[in-house]
Structure 1
Amino acid sequence: MKNAQPKTIYLKDYQPPNYLIDTTELRVELMEEGATVTATLKMRRNSHAGEDAPLLLHGIELELRELKIDGRVLDANEYYADAESLTIEQVPAEFVLESTVFIKPQENTSLEGLYKSDDMFCTQCEAEGFRKITYYLDRPDVMSEYTTTVVADKAGYPVLLSNGNPIDSGELDNGRHFVTWHDPFKKPSYLFALVAGDLEYIEDSFTTMSGRNIELRIFVEEKDIDKCDHAMRSLKKSMAWDEEVYGREYDLDIFMIVAVDAFNMGAMENKGLNIFNTSAVLAKTETTTDAAFQRVEAIVAHEYFHNWSGNRVTCRDWFQLSLKEGFTVFRDAEFSADMGSRVVKRVEDVSLLRTAQFSEDAGPMAHPVQPASFIEISNFYTLTVYEKGCEVVRMYHTLLGPELFREGSDLYFDRHDGQAATIEDFTRCMEEVSGRDLTQFKRWYSQAGTPRLDVNGSYDADAQTYTLNFAQSCPATPESAEKQPFHIPVTLGLVGQQGDLPLTLQGVEQTETYTDMVLEITESEQSFVFENVTEQPVPSLLRDFSAPVKLDFPYSNADLTFLMSRDSDGFNRWDACQKLATGILEGLVQAQLDGATMELDSSLVAAFRTVLNDDSLDPAMVALMLKLPSEAYLAEEADVIHVDEIHNAREFVRDQLAQQLKAEFQAAYDSNQVSEPYEPSAAQIAKRSLKNVALGYLMLADDDAISLARSQYDNANNMTDSAAALALLVCSDKPQAQHQAAELIIAFYEKWQQEALVVNQWFTVQAIAPQQGAVERVRELMQHPAFDIKNPNKVRSLIGAFCANNHVNFHRTDGAGYQLLADMVIELNTLNPQIAARLLAPLSKWQKQIPQRQQLMKEQLSRILATEELSKDVYEVVSKSLK
């Protein structure tokens, strides 16, 4: 049957496994024509299972060669194998199962299980890739002790790696060799890893707080050996930070990272052998931007932190995915904040959340942090699980305070070490250490959607009181139309003419004077009265973005300008600037719809001038405040998305700011030059970010700045400055800039064509250029020799970048952008369903577009749905999008 509806999996149907696997011995024989995998599993019936419980193992695309129980070969009539499983009806209470299968990694374009990336064998087993390697109980609550022997031709594959510590190695006949690895810590199959290739490595060591010496190695292709030092430094900083902040020490004798070019994800935390996308580990001044340096540091930290929050304590089932991911994203965010600017890191994280995750919450794929069901688990590696899940953990930290939160995490790690735990287990630990009932708080896990807080305030000068009234609501989402009140922590301050005012909350005994506090909103409507307020304040609400909500307060432009200059909370100073700009931009969108002439409110010019002239601000914060809200954010905020009007309004405001603040932007550009040798330090990154933002405005104000950009490109000693100049020239619509861009596009590729990650940047800068003809330009680039549709990095850098970041061209009124994306999804559906499904997001969000675009988007979704042999991954996204 064409497109038979795949089965939906429900959290409510969870049952523990009927069988457990105490030990797993694997022998993987790698050959050019395929691989033979022999798995010897010591198994036993689980205590709850009946004596007649059949053994059902997962397995996909496996050619079964032999099957034994306790050394006896089974006859064909004693088991049944279909496309996804192997069933043995009768097995003893305890037994050893031995299976031998043949697989073809070189034909595995899905990049799940065991596959080849160029000349390297590697694996990706999360979430359900291990079943493409051998027959197994491929579920996270089956944890086993692994011993893995990898065998291959020594000349072609001198490096053979797997999880744990190496315990044996040797030479074999016909130029082959083997290495045996043993992991003493029980783990689920999704954490299994194997790598075989001709690799070089850099080496270092780390001494743990208990005095153990850990060997550290990063494996890469020989050509990339000079790009590993930053990742190694990041790893050592991560190990030290985790000991200091969480008291967690690394447990094996060796920790390894391998860089792989063809990889679906950013990186993978396999126990002791982390496999990374090259984009998440390779870094060098000449080839890597500041943002990429920071990304490498953050991802190295994230995967290392998983050693405890994900590996030593794993998740019981995939509905608990945020247990490990949300917690670990919080840990890596705090690490990055400690390594650089805390405020800048918070702004960057919240910008992503508001733009992309809030949009996800409002779309057809909206789901709770803990989904109640799924068809394909790969579709739930989402911003909701990761980023919103992180915000939920951050709210625990806010409500309990850092000391109790640390006690709760210690209890969680100690109590559940070596176990497959649940979100409920994590919450219970936080309840026990704090003595608090967090039942209502757990609604953050079970209810989808972005809550809205409508707030108003009133000042009584005679009584010297200030009252804040809160009303919370949450829109309907696919899983529920009616929402119960959330438990929302709101950190706030009251700002007066001289700064923060002391806070005295009516009805609450206080032994100290506070200038900010956390209010807990638990009801649909709540009011709070502050006493001894000696002047009319402006409330600074949701400081440090204390909850993932949309907040509406009737700030005037004067209020927002006031907060920008006087608020002690750095995040809210930036947010006030964003709110001011957003309101003005929304007014200009409406002016176009009304047929009126656009005019820029002078308050925004004055606010930007104040920011540019404030020497007390970190240049990184100035750069962030000078960036207007993105088109994606403005679209997310709109009830109806008017793509062209949003683009026109934003370009008009940028041009007006550039003209009226030309002198200030020139001063910012000149004063933030870095003369010292390049390093990705917070101070240097801050200067470069402000300098390049200023250059972007100068390019709009003055044709002379085109020469300035060209000079920066020619004389840059780092990729940040050269890539920024290139992007500004490519994206400019001025003829002189376009002439320069045409020349530099050719020169840039010729210079960097051997550097795959730099070529990805080259694809992206052309994909996001807003000039007409972008769809045709992208299709042309897809024919370029450097583009490979089987490589996810190439697909993301070209197709993904265009669809997500070039709104005015993706949403072209003739539907050409939609057709381009649908074409790519259909082609990738059979090659790499995971990537195909993830690409679909921009096409799925048609509901707020104008009717003409809605129809065009739905036509392409219907075309995809009608495709023969649609994968589960794509089917789930498309079918939900069309409901």
Structure 2
Amino acid sequence: MDSQAKTILLKDYRPPAYLIEEVALAVDLFEERARVCSRLVCRRNIGTAPDAPLVLQGEDLVLKSVALDGVPLTPDQYRLEEESLTIPTVGERFLLAVETELYPQKNTSLDGLYRSSSNFCTQCEAEGFRKITYFLDRPDVLARYEVTISAEQERYPVLLANGNLVETGVLPEGRHYARWQDPFPKPSYLFAMVAGNLVKIADTFVTRSGRSVALEIYVQAHNQDKCAHAMASLKKAMAWDEETFGLEYDLDQYMIVAVDDFNMGAMENKGLNLFNSKYVLARPDTATDADYEGIEAVIGHEYFHNWTGNRVTCRDWFQLSLKEGLTVFRDQQFTADQVSAPVKRIHDVRLLRNVQFPEDNGPMAHPVRPDSYMEINNFYTVTIYEKGAEIIRMLHTLLGVELFRQGLALYLTHHDGRAATTDDFVQAMAEVSGRDLAQFKRWYTQAGTPRLTVQGEYDPEARTYTLRLAQATPATPGQPEKEPLHIPVALGLLDGQGKEMPLTCPERQPEAGRNLFELRETQETIRFSGVPEQPRLSILRNFSAPLKVEYGCDEEELLFLFRYDRDPFNRWEAGQCLASRLLLGLVEDFRKSRPLQLDERFVAACGRLLAEEGGDKGFLALLLTLPSEEYLAEQMAVVDVEAIHAARTFARQTLARSLRPQWEQGYAANRSAGPYRYEPELAGQRALRNLCLAYLMSTEDDAATQLALAQFRGTDNMTDQMAAFAGLAHSGRPERQQAIADFYQQWQGDSLVLDKWFAVQATAPLPETLAAVQALMDHPAFQLKNPNKVRALLGSFAAGNPVCFHEVSGRGYAFLAEQILALDPLNPQVAARLAARLGRGARYDAGRQGLMRTQLERIAAIPSLSRDVYEVVSKSLG
């Protein structure tokens, strides 16, 4: 394990000894192999000693030849090791030619050059380019590329690479070639190429300066009718970035290729984005509203990377959130402008709380800018992406819209064509605003979820309201001590009728119209004057900072805010806080075998919401949705899996029975008129209608089941069919097995829809689910080599079915460990993500802790374990 355990440290960063200015690649593709010839124009970097060796990275390559300035090198003139090629003596400027051979057909890691559905494609982030040719495979080496691809014309009529197409031609023996040039310098991780039998869906976008950009989406022929939404989303994103940030696209064409086998969602390679087909293909009968929104968001995300990631890239992988956190924030803003902004904000915060907060509270906790890593693939995490986006959002909140836009423009101007750091980004924001943001940068360097403790006191005689705020961040692995953070705190005070009170604070007046205060010390006091009555505090509006709030308000105040708060996020938050408090009370009652009873005031409040007419139906559906079992688990010192599940099930059934007429009326009133259309208002109606159905189905009675069956069989869209299918498949009704069989029979020819079929079965909270998942491993539609299938079945079971995965015998843990061991030799990245689910045992009872640890030790005992899995397992074992 010594080689696997090598830790890379940020403090050890050094600029590259050599730079590569020009890259000419010739890639010849054959059925059993690929040949890559590279010609690299290199120079010694400033400050590098003349006798410094040139060390290139390479993995899984067969070296055929090396030539320096046109002279072939003999084996004694270079050193070839398992992951590197070293040339001891080179000049100040030189031309290096390297020929390698590789085997994409055998590459199951989906990293580097590989085959997917009979097409060749690449994935080079983070360190995949070294599996194509020997190279300085690091993000701070930027070069201009010319790429020539050749392949058999009949099998691979489409040949794509980054940049602009400059030449095509026919070769002997039925082959052809295409030559591409990318005029913009880029690091090797942004390299991309595709060769396949694909069809093109074409459109055009005219930039605000009048340039015409050819837009092209490439898919397999049978999927060409599923690309209209992706193309429309791309055009929306291009127009939005011009309008919002003044950023215009810079190449003559922009291409997207849908790939069935892909480890991530998509990749922003310059001018040639490779996408998991899940985020391209959509048709009303095969894709849900959530799929449509997800496609729009991911299309936007990868397009926005053209500037925040491509034109300006990250200096090293410790700076990964420089591009990812910033671009996630941009895609969140884009989506919020296309759909319901409150709904989008709530969805983002739920993801943060359900996934990132637990990561912050576990063995893999790390800062947004980590200090170290063993395997960079393990740091494509929700901390880097979602918490990183929250840091950018805080800067946006602190500076305001216009100053943030100016800061982004300054950052892009200063660093265009270069590799930058998170410090560079914050410095640009400091320059345009004139603010000292040194303390703010601690958000990047400290791991853990901060806690904000809030105490309010009203003095009726003095007509003052005193607010005491205290911040603390718990210890995390490697960081026992924390310093105070710079926290933007948006707040409001409501009177007895729910109206906003003016905030008068002589000592620290908030910025006009924003009611924003800034907490910098461990403890601070804010005193408001001229407060005519006891106010109701609305704290951390729109979730202005990614932290946990501890505020001891009573149920009456939460009910009041749930009904009246003018900030949509905090209105939802009040309902979630109240529901969590009540549900955790039910957990305690269940554990002590006391009768369960749901507070009638909460039931009545939900009834009032159901009676509301008009408004944002999607937002209303979120107001009526109970906190998840995962979120409730985060609130407990020791997680009680069965009690949480029993308490939440009881609450759902109580609401269903107590408000049955309202649920039925809501279901009937929100039926869509006419054929399916993806529009935010209609998506909100469907969300509310299907929530009503879910509550009714929780009773599992005949009437609700017949309602679900009718919707399952009679709808024209996947959103409604999936809602009905999930209700039936998660029930104990005899109709469930027929619904499962019918769904498969209907959709057995559509791989992406079958992912939904796998996921629904894997998340059924039923005693037989583990056996069903084990059986599905042998289903003809399941492939362990396909990441989408693994995520749908194994990932859904481990992450989305706590009551079955954490079943007290530990059978779920043993099953997952078996699959991790089987998957690790095929795809270490996906295996490592599954392994992380076994690393969160510290907050469970001693029995479950021991069972998880046993499986982690079982995995760690394998001598050939990948670096990816080894890092996760070793950190989990402590």
SS in 2 for 1:170: strand
- Number of the residue aligned with 2:677: 679
**C-alpha distance after superposition, 1:111-137 (max 9, x if no partner):** 000000020000000000000000000
Q: Could you say what the CA RMSD is over the residues aligned between the two structures, in angstroms? A: 1.0
CA shift at 1:859, angstroms? 0.2
2:57 matched to 1:62? no
SS in 1 for 2:151: strand
* 8 Å Cα contact 1:3/1:868 also seen in 2: no
**C-alpha distance after superposition, 1:79-137 (max 9, x if no partner):** 01111100000001110000000000000000000000020000000000000000000
**C-alpha distance after superposition, 1:151-171 (max 9, x if no partner):** 000000000000000001100
SS in 2 for 1:547: coil
C-alpha distance in 2 between matches for 1:459 and 1:570: 25
- Number of the residue aligned with 1:91: 90
Give 5+ residue unaligned stretches, structure 1.
none
CA shift at 1:4, angstroms? 4.7
* 8 Å Cα contact 2:214/2:254 also seen in 1: yes
C-alpha distance in 2 between matches for 1:171 and 1:715: 52
2:783 matched to 1:785? no
- Number of the residue aligned with 1:659: 657
- Number of the residue aligned with 2:33: 34
2:628 matched to 1:630? yes
- Number of the residue aligned with 1:502: 502
SS in 2 for 1:840: helix
- Number of the residue aligned with 2:213: 214
C-alpha distance in 2 between matches for 1:63 and 1:510: 64
2:423 matched to 1:424? yes
- Number of the residue aligned with 1:814: 809
CA shift at 1:3, angstroms? 6.4
**C-alpha distance after superposition, 1:232-259 (max 9, x if no partner):** 0000000000000010000000000000
CA shift at 1:603, angstroms? 1.9
- Number of the residue aligned with 1:284: 283
Seen in structure 2, the aligned counterparts of structure 1 residues 726 and 435 have a Cα distance that, compared at 3 Å, is same
The one-letter amino acid paired with 1:75 is T
- 1:41-80 paired onto structure 2 within 5 Å: 41-80=40-79
2:558 matched to 1:557? no
**Length, aligned pairs only:** 876
SS in 2 for 1:149: strand
The one-letter amino acid paired with 1:352 is L
C-alpha distance in 2 between matches for 1:172 and 1:874: 44
* 8 Å Cα contact 2:61/2:133 also seen in 1: yes
Which of the residues 828, 831, 840 maps onto 2:823?
A: 828
TM-score of the two chains, using structure 1 as the length reference: 0.98
CA shift at 1:506, angstroms? 2.6
- Number of the residue aligned with 1:583: 581
- Number of the residue aligned with 1:525: 523
The one-letter amino acid paired with 1:595 is S
SS in 1 for 2:173: helix
* 8 Å Cα contact 1:3/1:869 also seen in 2: no
* 8 Å Cα contact 2:43/2:93 also seen in 1: yes
CA shift at 1:309, angstroms? 0.2
C-alpha distance in 2 between matches for 1:587 and 1:396: 38
* 8 Å Cα contact 1:490/1:543 also seen in 2: yes
- Number of the residue aligned with 1:17: 16
CA shift at 1:605, angstroms? 0.3
- Number of the residue aligned with 2:604: 606
C-alpha distance in 1 between matches for 2:674 and 2:394: 40
C-alpha distance in 2 between matches for 1:689 and 1:119: 38
- Number of the residue aligned with 1:299: 298
- Number of the residue aligned with 2:308: 309
C-alpha distance in 2 between matches for 1:249 and 1:541: 38
C-alpha distance in 1 between matches for 2:769 and 2:721: 23
* 8 Å Cα contact 1:504/1:530 also seen in 2: yes
CA shift at 1:328, angstroms? 0.1
SS in 1 for 2:532: coil
- Number of the residue aligned with 1:716: 715
Seen in structure 2, the aligned counterparts of structure 1 residues 661 and 509 have a Cα distance that, compared at 3 Å, is closer
Task: State percent identity of aligned pairs.
Answer: 53
- Number of the residue aligned with 2:479: 480
- Number of the residue aligned with 2:767: 772
C-alpha distance in 2 between matches for 1:328 and 1:183: 22
Seen in structure 2, the aligned counterparts of structure 1 residues 508 and 859 have a Cα distance that, compared at 3 Å, is closer
CA shift at 1:720, angstroms? 0.5
CA shift at 1:387, angstroms? 0.1
- Number of the residue aligned with 2:347: 348
CA shift at 1:479, angstroms? 2.2
CA shift at 1:535, angstroms? 1.2
SS in 1 for 2:612: coil
- Number of the residue aligned with 1:389: 388
C-alpha distance in 2 between matches for 1:551 and 1:349: 17
- 1:103-502 paired onto structure 2 within 5 Å: 103-498=102-497, 499-502=499-502
* 8 Å Cα contact 2:510/2:517 also seen in 1: no
CA shift at 1:616, angstroms? 4.8
2:693 matched to 1:695? yes
TM-score of the two chains, using structure 2 as the length reference: 0.99
* 8 Å Cα contact 1:146/1:183 also seen in 2: yes
**C-alpha distance after superposition, 1:547-594 (max 9, x if no partner):** 000001111111011011111100001010100100000111111222
SS in 2 for 1:442: helix
The one-letter amino acid paired with 1:359 is P
Give 5+ residue unaligned stretches, structure 2.
none
CA shift at 1:617, angstroms? 3.6
CA shift at 1:5, angstroms? 4.1
C-alpha distance in 1 between matches for 2:130 and 2:788: 25
- Number of the residue aligned with 1:547: 545
* 8 Å Cα contact 1:810/1:818 also seen in 2: yes
* 8 Å Cα contact 2:280/2:295 also seen in 1: yes
The one-letter amino acid paired with 2:584 is E
C-alpha distance in 2 between matches for 1:774 and 1:341: 35
* 8 Å Cα contact 1:228/1:281 also seen in 2: yes
SS in 1 for 2:377: helix
CA shift at 1:614, angstroms? 2.1
The one-letter amino acid paired with 2:866 is S
C-alpha distance in 2 between matches for 1:19 and 1:279: 40
CA shift at 1:510, angstroms? 7.6
CA shift at 1:741, angstroms? 1.9
The one-letter amino acid paired with 1:523 is E
**C-alpha distance after superposition, 1:340-378 (max 9, x if no partner):** 100000000000001110000000000000000000000
C-alpha distance in 2 between matches for 1:578 and 1:342: 18
* 8 Å Cα contact 1:315/1:420 also seen in 2: yes
**C-alpha distance after superposition, 1:664-684 (max 9, x if no partner):** 111110111001221111011
* 8 Å Cα contact 1:19/1:55 also seen in 2: yes
**C-alpha distance after superposition, 1:609-645 (max 9, x if no partner):** 1211122541111111111100011111211100000
The one-letter amino acid paired with 1:507 is E
2:733 matched to 1:759? no
SS in 1 for 2:542: helix
C-alpha distance in 1 between matches for 2:240 and 2:478: 39
C-alpha distance in 2 between matches for 1:647 and 1:510: 43
C-alpha distance in 2 between matches for 1:421 and 1:510: 33
CA shift at 1:703, angstroms? 2.4
The one-letter amino acid paired with 2:597 is E
C-alpha distance in 2 between matches for 1:445 and 1:435: 20
**C-alpha distance after superposition, 1:829-859 (max 9, x if no partner):** 1100000001122211000001110000000
The one-letter amino acid paired with 1:180 is R
- Number of the residue aligned with 2:841: 846
* 8 Å Cα contact 1:506/1:528 also seen in 2: no
